Amino acid sequence: MRPKRGVTKLNRDLKKSRESGKPSQVLTQPMVESVIDS
C-alpha cells in the first residue's frame, strides 16, 4: 500500500492526539479505514 494524499495530515493529527494524551488507537482505526475507502 502506498501512502495517499491524506497520509501526511493523518500523521500530523496522530501526533497532536498523542501529545494531548488521547488514546491513538481510537483515532487511528476510523481514519485508516477512511483512507483505504477513498
26 pLDDT above the threshold of 70: no
Residue range 10-15: average pLDDT? 78
| Separation of alpha carbons 23 and 12, rounded Å | 15
Query: CA quadruple 12, 18, 20, 25: dihedral positive or negative?
Result: positive
Helix axis angle for 7-19 and 24-37, nearest 10°, is: 170
At 32, the pLDDT band (50, 70, 90 cuts) reads low
Q: Whole-model pTM?
A: 0.30
| Separation of alpha carbons 31 and 11, rounded Å | 10
Question: Residue 19 gets which letter from DSSP?
Answer: H
